[in-house]
Amino acid sequence: MLMRSLLRLIAPLIFGAAYRVFRSARFKHSGRKHRWVMSSFRLAADAGHRQALSVYGHLLFLRGDTTKSKIQGAIYLERAADRGEMKAQYQMGRIYETGFEGYFKIQFDKSQIHYQRAAEQGHVLAITRLAEAYAQGELGLVVDADKSKFWLQQMPV
């Protein structure tokens, strides 16, 4: 209990340090750097750090070398999306729109919800996708030119 509370407190520090190393050009192709960064991201993500959940989830889902790691990445992304992380919400919209490996079934209602939550935070690709979906009647939505126009008007300048 105490250890879990302590980990939640230092998770932002762990994530911040790992993210700076991740973005650093030093030791670019180092396997040791990669292992340390990924284990640090996972530690912070498992402590519930929202940004760590998103970054670690994206890395596993988009760059994982096995189906199992990609599914695990999508699970981390879903946790980040549930905590309001915009990029993870957009990615979960895509995952639920297309489905993934039978683990994530196509569910247009969930897809539309995730896209909308991301769009409400200004995610450009989510706004574009919602505008298209309303214009074309996709994602289980009825064609609605007014809603399509509304979402296009939400595009950041």
Domain range list for the chain: 1-48
pLDDT tens string 61-110? 999 999 999 999 999 999 999 999 999 999 999 999 999 988 999 999 99
| pLDDT band of 27, cuts 50, 70, 90 | confident
Q: What is the pTM (predicted TM-score) of this model?
A: 0.92
Residues sharing a CB contact under 8 Å with residue 108, sequence separation 6 or more, in sequence order: 96, 97, 139, 140
**How far, in Å, CA of 141 to CA of 151, rounded?**
14
Give 28 or 11, the one with higher predicted confidence.
11
Query: Mean pLDDT in the chain?
Result: 94
| pLDDT in the model for residue 156 | 86
| pLDDT in the model for residue 15 | 96
